[in-house]
Amino acid sequence: MRILVTGAAGYIGSALVKALPGDVLATDQAGGDKLLAGNLAYPQFARSLITPDIGAVFHLASLVSGGAEQNFELGTKVNLDATRDLLEACRLAGHRPKFVFASSIAVYGGHHDLVNDDTPPSPRLSYGAQKLVCEILIDDYTRKGYIEGCSLRLPTVMVRPGGANTAVSGWASAIIREPLAGRDYVCPVRPDTRMACISVRRVVEAFIHASRIQMKEPQKTVLLPGIPVSAQQMLDAVKGRARGKVRFEPDPTLQKIMDAVPKETRSRRAEALGFPCSKNIEEIVREYEEDYSDPAVARHG
């Protein structure tokens, strides 16, 4: 059995590829060492990836929140149309592969301090709407017997190495990464700004776990637990080791968005199904320092 990973050059994708056993077909738009280069926005490429020997698909490729909001057409092609093309290719292949999808708590929109299994989705950005549509499609393709699907709603995953991307939550990694690397950083939110967080290690474990379990319920979406962490707590977690300085200069537009995002996610369903969670921000920082201790890796990802 071969395993397909889309978005394999990304933060989560690259960590997942390293952790997966067996024969992995890793693809990303940028290409690179041992990566198949290709743009999922082109249906022919997306559909060509599902061959009879593909037994599991980890679909992580996406245009993240800020980028999808700025470029609606591209966001729709990458986040929605490409997912449908992969699902159609699975249907036509006829062998019911496992299909694990990276969704997001962006499906809940804003103004929820706590999100749990009973919180109804209500996206306020195109990115969240696109993810929600994909979840519904995955449930339906599973119901029809074309795939065995599972969608994971991810809180903010940190600490991301390398430079900033277009995610509105990018500051949450930068406030840890930059001072540890000896670089000063201007944080664009208030110190008391909180968000729901999980480490990349726990997310990789969750993806692998999702590919191995059987879910009996018709609804195949699982909310991963995210611990509530403030910007000040993130900064405090690197005290004594940070060589760069941080100052807070809130950006009104970004602050308004962050004030509305979920501050914590809890899921009894995820716990019952055996999905992992992060314990605290100190654990998240420690894992980052262990995994990206090489300054060159931390800088370039």
SS3 300: helix
How many Å apart are CA 242 and CA 246, to the nearest integer?
A: 10
Name the packing angle between helices 281-291 and 200-212 (round to 10°). 90
Catalytic (active-site) positions: 127
Residue identified by tokens 């800020």 is: 66
Name the E strands within 29-172: 36-37, 54-59, 98-104, 114-115, 148-154, 156-158
Picking from 43, 265, 261, the residue whose alpha carbon sits closest to that of residue 152 is 265
What Å distances lie between residue 172 and 6, 91, 125, 167, 197, CA to CA? Answer: 24, 39, 19, 10, 9
Q: Are 117 and 223 in contact, with CB atoms under 8 Å apart?
A: yes
Q: Which residues contact 127 (CB under 8 A, 6 or more apart)?
A: 62, 63, 64, 65, 68, 69, 75, 79, 104, 106
Which amino acid, one-letter code, is at 125? L
Nearest-angstrom CA–CA distance, 231 and 246: 11
Q: How far apart are CA 43 and CA 30, in angstroms?
A: 17
Distances (CA, A) of 292 to 128, 144, 176, 219, 242: 30, 42, 12, 36, 15
